[in-house]
Amino acid sequence: MSANVRTLLEALPYIREFHGRTVVIKYGGAAMRDEELREGFATDVVLLKYVGLNPVIVHGGGPDITSYMERLGMEVRFVEGVRVSDPETVEVAKMVLLGKVNSDIVSRLNRHGQPAVGLSGEDGTLFEVRPHPNADQVGFVGEVDRVDVNVLTHIAEDYIPVVASAGTDREGNSYNVNADAAAGKVAAALRAYKAIFLTDVPGWLADPDDPGSLVTRATVSEVATALGEVEGGMRPKLGACIEAIGGGVQSAHIIDGSKPHSLLLELFTDAGIGTMVIPS
Protein backbone atom coordinates (compact mmCIF):
# COMPACT_ATOMS: atom_id res chain seq x y z
CA MET A 1 0.00 0.00 0.00
CA SER A 2 1.36 3.43 -0.82
CA ALA A 3 2.10 5.81 2.04
CA ASN A 4 -0.53 8.23 0.70
CA VAL A 5 -3.26 5.61 0.78
CA ARG A 6 -2.21 4.54 4.26
CA THR A 7 -2.45 8.14 5.47
CA LEU A 8 -5.95 8.50 4.05
CA LEU A 9 -7.09 5.24 5.64
CA GLU A 10 -5.55 6.28 8.94
CA ALA A 11 -7.64 9.46 8.82
CA LEU A 12 -10.94 7.67 8.21
CA PRO A 13 -11.84 6.71 11.80
CA TYR A 14 -11.00 10.25 12.93
CA ILE A 15 -13.12 11.80 10.21
CA ARG A 16 -15.99 9.58 11.34
CA GLU A 17 -15.45 10.44 15.01
CA PHE A 18 -15.28 14.21 14.40
CA HIS A 19 -18.15 14.51 11.93
CA GLY A 20 -20.51 17.27 13.07
CA ARG A 21 -18.31 18.11 16.09
CA THR A 22 -17.33 21.64 17.05
CA VAL A 23 -13.62 22.38 17.38
CA VAL A 24 -12.45 25.71 18.76
CA ILE A 25 -9.05 26.68 17.40
CA LYS A 26 -6.92 29.39 18.99
CA TYR A 27 -4.70 30.91 16.34
CA GLY A 28 -1.90 33.16 17.51
CA GLY A 29 1.36 34.87 16.82
CA ALA A 30 3.65 32.02 15.81
CA ALA A 31 1.41 30.28 13.30
CA MET A 32 0.76 33.66 11.62
CA ARG A 33 4.43 34.41 11.24
CA ASP A 34 4.82 33.97 7.51
CA GLU A 35 2.79 33.72 4.36
CA GLU A 36 3.25 29.97 3.99
CA LEU A 37 2.02 29.25 7.52
CA ARG A 38 -0.97 31.57 7.07
CA GLU A 39 -1.94 29.82 3.86
CA GLY A 40 -1.37 26.40 5.43
CA PHE A 41 -3.61 27.28 8.37
CA ALA A 42 -6.40 28.48 6.07
CA THR A 43 -6.30 25.34 3.90
CA ASP A 44 -6.32 23.12 7.01
CA VAL A 45 -9.36 24.87 8.48
CA VAL A 46 -11.20 24.75 5.16
CA LEU A 47 -10.45 21.03 4.92
CA LEU A 48 -11.90 20.51 8.42
CA LYS A 49 -15.12 22.20 7.33
CA TYR A 50 -15.29 20.13 4.14
CA VAL A 51 -14.93 16.85 6.03
CA GLY A 52 -17.81 17.80 8.31
CA LEU A 53 -16.26 19.39 11.39
CA ASN A 54 -17.48 22.70 12.70
CA PRO A 55 -14.37 24.86 13.20
CA VAL A 56 -14.59 28.09 15.24
CA ILE A 57 -11.50 30.30 15.18
CA VAL A 58 -10.48 32.62 18.03
CA HIS A 59 -7.38 34.68 17.35
CA GLY A 60 -5.00 37.14 18.88
CA GLY A 61 -2.32 39.08 17.05
CA GLY A 62 0.11 40.43 19.61
CA PRO A 63 3.12 40.82 17.29
CA ASP A 64 1.06 42.81 14.73
CA ILE A 65 -0.31 45.08 17.48
CA THR A 66 3.22 45.71 18.73
CA SER A 67 4.54 46.50 15.27
CA TYR A 68 1.72 49.01 14.55
CA MET A 69 2.17 50.66 17.95
CA GLU A 70 5.86 51.07 17.20
CA ARG A 71 5.07 52.55 13.80
CA LEU A 72 2.82 55.06 15.55
CA GLY A 73 5.58 55.89 18.03
CA MET A 74 3.63 54.47 20.98
CA GLU A 75 5.27 52.96 24.04
CA VAL A 76 4.91 49.15 24.25
CA ARG A 77 5.00 47.78 27.79
CA PHE A 78 4.17 44.44 29.39
CA VAL A 79 3.58 43.61 33.07
CA GLU A 80 3.80 39.87 33.77
CA GLY A 81 3.13 39.06 30.14
CA VAL A 82 0.09 41.36 29.93
CA ARG A 83 0.14 44.34 27.59
CA VAL A 84 -0.23 47.62 29.46
CA SER A 85 -3.26 49.11 27.72
CA ASP A 86 -4.32 52.74 27.92
CA PRO A 87 -7.37 53.74 25.83
CA GLU A 88 -5.15 54.61 22.83
CA THR A 89 -3.49 51.18 22.98
CA VAL A 90 -6.87 49.46 23.03
CA GLU A 91 -7.95 51.56 20.06
CA VAL A 92 -4.90 50.50 18.04
CA ALA A 93 -5.23 46.87 19.20
CA LYS A 94 -8.86 46.76 18.02
CA MET A 95 -8.01 48.36 14.69
CA VAL A 96 -5.18 45.91 14.05
CA LEU A 97 -7.01 42.82 15.29
CA LEU A 98 -10.20 43.48 13.35
CA GLY A 99 -9.05 45.58 10.43
CA LYS A 100 -5.97 43.55 9.62
CA VAL A 101 -5.54 40.17 11.33
CA ASN A 102 -9.21 39.16 11.33
CA SER A 103 -9.92 40.30 7.79
CA ASP A 104 -6.79 38.53 6.54
CA ILE A 105 -7.94 35.21 8.05
CA VAL A 106 -11.47 35.67 6.72
CA SER A 107 -10.35 36.47 3.20
CA ARG A 108 -7.99 33.48 3.10
CA LEU A 109 -10.74 31.09 4.22
CA ASN A 110 -13.09 32.60 1.63
CA ARG A 111 -10.47 32.23 -1.06
CA HIS A 112 -9.90 28.56 -0.23
CA GLY A 113 -13.57 27.81 -0.68
CA GLN A 114 -15.30 28.05 2.70
CA PRO A 115 -16.99 31.36 3.46
CA ALA A 116 -16.07 32.85 6.82
CA VAL A 117 -17.48 35.67 8.93
CA GLY A 118 -15.28 37.85 11.13
CA LEU A 119 -16.49 39.28 14.41
CA SER A 120 -15.21 40.51 17.75
CA GLY A 121 -16.52 40.14 21.26
CA GLU A 122 -18.76 43.14 20.66
CA ASP A 123 -20.74 41.58 17.85
CA GLY A 124 -24.01 40.06 18.96
CA THR A 125 -22.89 40.69 22.58
CA LEU A 126 -20.57 37.69 22.23
CA PHE A 127 -18.33 38.62 25.18
CA GLU A 128 -19.11 40.56 28.30
CA VAL A 129 -15.80 41.69 29.70
CA ARG A 130 -14.75 42.75 33.21
CA PRO A 131 -11.47 44.47 34.10
CA HIS A 132 -8.37 42.36 34.76
CA PRO A 133 -7.56 41.94 38.50
CA ASN A 134 -4.37 43.99 37.90
CA ALA A 135 -6.32 46.80 36.21
CA ASP A 136 -4.54 49.52 38.17
CA GLN A 137 -1.25 48.41 36.57
CA VAL A 138 -2.32 47.17 33.14
CA GLY A 139 -5.25 49.47 32.33
CA PHE A 140 -7.94 48.35 29.91
CA VAL A 141 -7.17 44.66 29.89
CA GLY A 142 -10.25 42.56 30.32
CA GLU A 143 -11.33 39.07 31.19
CA VAL A 144 -14.29 37.45 29.52
CA ASP A 145 -17.00 37.26 32.14
CA ARG A 146 -19.77 35.79 30.04
CA VAL A 147 -20.06 34.36 26.52
CA ASP A 148 -23.31 34.60 24.60
CA VAL A 149 -22.87 31.87 21.99
CA ASN A 150 -26.07 32.65 20.10
CA VAL A 151 -24.33 34.71 17.44
CA LEU A 152 -21.66 32.01 17.00
CA THR A 153 -24.08 29.12 16.62
CA HIS A 154 -26.08 31.11 14.05
CA ILE A 155 -23.00 31.99 12.00
CA ALA A 156 -21.53 28.48 12.28
CA GLU A 157 -24.56 26.98 10.58
CA ASP A 158 -23.30 28.34 7.27
CA TYR A 159 -19.96 30.04 7.82
CA ILE A 160 -16.71 29.63 9.70
CA PRO A 161 -16.79 32.15 12.58
CA VAL A 162 -13.51 34.01 13.12
CA VAL A 163 -13.44 35.82 16.46
CA ALA A 164 -11.02 38.63 17.34
CA SER A 165 -10.30 38.72 21.07
CA ALA A 166 -11.59 42.16 22.04
CA GLY A 167 -14.69 43.10 23.95
CA THR A 168 -16.55 45.69 25.99
CA ASP A 169 -17.93 45.94 29.50
CA ARG A 170 -21.48 46.95 30.42
CA GLU A 171 -20.58 50.63 30.28
CA GLY A 172 -19.23 50.25 26.75
CA ASN A 173 -15.51 50.57 27.58
CA SER A 174 -13.31 48.56 25.20
CA TYR A 175 -10.72 46.09 26.45
CA ASN A 176 -7.82 44.03 25.25
CA VAL A 177 -8.53 40.36 25.99
CA ASN A 178 -6.04 37.47 26.04
CA ALA A 179 -6.99 35.27 23.09
CA ASP A 180 -6.18 31.98 24.88
CA ALA A 181 -8.50 32.84 27.74
CA ALA A 182 -11.20 33.93 25.28
CA ALA A 183 -10.83 30.67 23.31
CA GLY A 184 -11.15 28.60 26.49
CA LYS A 185 -14.37 30.43 27.41
CA VAL A 186 -15.78 30.05 23.90
CA ALA A 187 -14.96 26.32 23.83
CA ALA A 188 -16.66 25.84 27.20
CA ALA A 189 -19.71 27.92 26.25
CA LEU A 190 -20.12 25.98 22.97
CA ARG A 191 -19.41 22.68 24.73
CA ALA A 192 -16.99 22.04 21.90
CA TYR A 193 -15.60 18.55 21.31
CA LYS A 194 -12.03 19.82 21.26
CA ALA A 195 -10.12 23.02 21.90
CA ILE A 196 -6.80 23.37 20.07
CA PHE A 197 -4.23 26.06 20.86
CA LEU A 198 -1.64 26.74 18.16
CA THR A 199 1.61 28.21 19.45
CA ASP A 200 5.34 28.37 18.69
CA VAL A 201 6.63 25.62 21.00
CA PRO A 202 5.99 21.84 20.81
CA GLY A 203 3.46 22.12 23.68
CA TRP A 204 3.64 22.50 27.43
CA LEU A 205 7.25 21.89 28.47
CA ALA A 206 7.97 20.67 32.01
CA ASP A 207 11.17 22.73 31.71
CA PRO A 208 10.61 25.74 29.41
CA ASP A 209 14.31 25.70 28.45
CA ASP A 210 14.27 22.04 27.40
CA PRO A 211 12.34 21.28 24.19
CA GLY A 212 12.74 17.57 25.06
CA SER A 213 10.60 17.94 28.20
CA LEU A 214 7.24 17.96 26.40
CA VAL A 215 4.30 16.86 28.54
CA THR A 216 2.32 14.78 26.05
CA ARG A 217 -0.67 14.07 28.26
CA ALA A 218 -1.98 15.62 31.48
CA THR A 219 -5.21 15.62 33.44
CA VAL A 220 -6.89 18.88 34.44
CA SER A 221 -5.93 18.31 38.06
CA GLU A 222 -2.28 17.78 37.11
CA VAL A 223 -2.38 21.02 35.11
CA ALA A 224 -4.10 22.89 37.95
CA THR A 225 -1.42 21.71 40.39
CA ALA A 226 1.42 22.85 38.12
CA LEU A 227 -0.18 26.13 36.98
CA GLY A 228 1.26 28.30 39.76
CA GLU A 229 4.78 27.57 38.51
CA VAL A 230 4.08 28.19 34.82
CA GLU A 231 5.09 31.55 33.40
CA GLY A 232 4.71 33.66 30.28
CA GLY A 233 2.37 32.87 27.44
CA MET A 234 1.96 29.22 28.45
CA ARG A 235 0.08 30.15 31.60
CA PRO A 236 -3.09 31.54 29.97
CA LYS A 237 -3.05 28.56 27.58
CA LEU A 238 -3.05 26.01 30.38
CA GLY A 239 -5.65 28.08 32.23
CA ALA A 240 -7.78 28.02 29.09
CA CYS A 241 -7.40 24.22 28.83
CA ILE A 242 -8.71 23.89 32.41
CA GLU A 243 -11.58 26.25 31.62
CA ALA A 244 -12.51 24.35 28.45
CA ILE A 245 -12.47 20.90 30.07
CA GLY A 246 -14.43 22.28 33.05
CA GLY A 247 -17.07 23.36 30.55
CA GLY A 248 -17.43 19.86 29.11
CA VAL A 249 -14.86 19.91 26.29
CA GLN A 250 -13.48 16.37 25.83
CA SER A 251 -9.85 17.27 25.26
CA ALA A 252 -7.71 20.37 24.89
CA HIS A 253 -4.51 20.39 22.86
CA ILE A 254 -1.53 22.72 22.74
CA ILE A 255 0.39 22.19 19.51
CA ASP A 256 3.21 23.75 17.52
CA GLY A 257 1.61 26.00 14.92
CA SER A 258 4.99 26.89 13.48
CA LYS A 259 5.11 23.37 11.96
CA PRO A 260 3.16 23.26 8.70
CA HIS A 261 -0.25 21.51 8.91
CA SER A 262 0.12 20.68 12.61
CA LEU A 263 -3.66 20.95 12.91
CA LEU A 264 -4.23 18.09 10.47
CA LEU A 265 -1.54 15.94 12.05
CA GLU A 266 -3.10 16.37 15.47
CA LEU A 267 -6.63 15.63 14.34
CA PHE A 268 -6.23 12.95 11.70
CA THR A 269 -3.19 10.83 12.51
CA ASP A 270 -2.60 8.19 15.18
CA ALA A 271 0.56 9.87 16.43
CA GLY A 272 -1.01 13.04 17.80
CA ILE A 273 1.33 15.87 18.63
CA GLY A 274 1.84 18.39 21.40
CA THR A 275 0.18 18.36 24.82
CA MET A 276 -3.24 16.81 25.36
CA VAL A 277 -5.22 17.83 28.44
CA ILE A 278 -8.02 15.48 29.47
CA PRO A 279 -10.62 15.48 32.27
CA SER A 280 -9.08 12.65 34.33
The residues that touch Mg ion, with contacts defined as CB under 5 A, are: 233
Q: Which residue, 50 or 78, has its beta carbon nearer to Mg ion? A: 78
Cβ contacts of 12-15, under 8 Å, gap ≥ 24: 14/267, 14/268, 14/269, 15/51, 15/52, 15/268
The site partner of 109 among ligand ADP, Mg ion, none (C-beta below 5 to 8 Å per kind) is: none
Q: Which residue, 27 or 175, has its beta carbon nearer to ligand ADP? A: 27
The site partner of 278 among Mg ion, ligand ADP, none (C-beta below 5 to 8 Å per kind) is: none
- d(C-alpha 195, C-alpha 176), whole Å: 21
- d(C-alpha 58, C-alpha 119), whole Å: 10
- d(C-alpha 266, C-alpha 254), whole Å: 10
Q: Which residue, 139 or 257, has its beta carbon nearer to ligand ADP? A: 257
Q: Which residue, 230 or 276, has its beta carbon nearer to ligand ADP? A: 230
The site partner of 47 among Mg ion, ligand ADP, none (C-beta below 5 to 8 Å per kind) is: none
Q: Which residue, 98 or 205, has its beta carbon nearer to ligand ADP? A: 205
Residue 203: name the closest of 187, 193, 192, 217 by CA.
Answer: 217
Query: Which residues, listed in sequence order, are joined to residue 196 by a DSSP beta bridge?
Result: 25, 253
CB of 204 to ligand ADP, least distance (A): 5
CB of 52 to ligand ADP, least distance (A): 27
CB of 11 to ligand ADP, least distance (A): 26
Sign of the dihedral defined by the CA atoms of residues 206, 14, 43, 278, in that order: negative
Amino acid at 115: P
CB of 265 to ligand ADP, least distance (A): 17
For ligand ADP, the binding residues (CB under 6 A) are 28-30, 180, 199-201, 204-205, 208, 230-234
Query: How many C-beta atoms lie closer than 10 Å to residue 248's C-beta?
Result: 14
The site partner of 230 among Mg ion, ligand ADP, none (C-beta below 5 to 8 Å per kind) is: ligand ADP
Q: Is residue 181 classed as helix, strand or coil in its secondary structure?
A: helix
The site partner of 208 among ligand ADP, Mg ion, none (C-beta below 5 to 8 Å per kind) is: ligand ADP
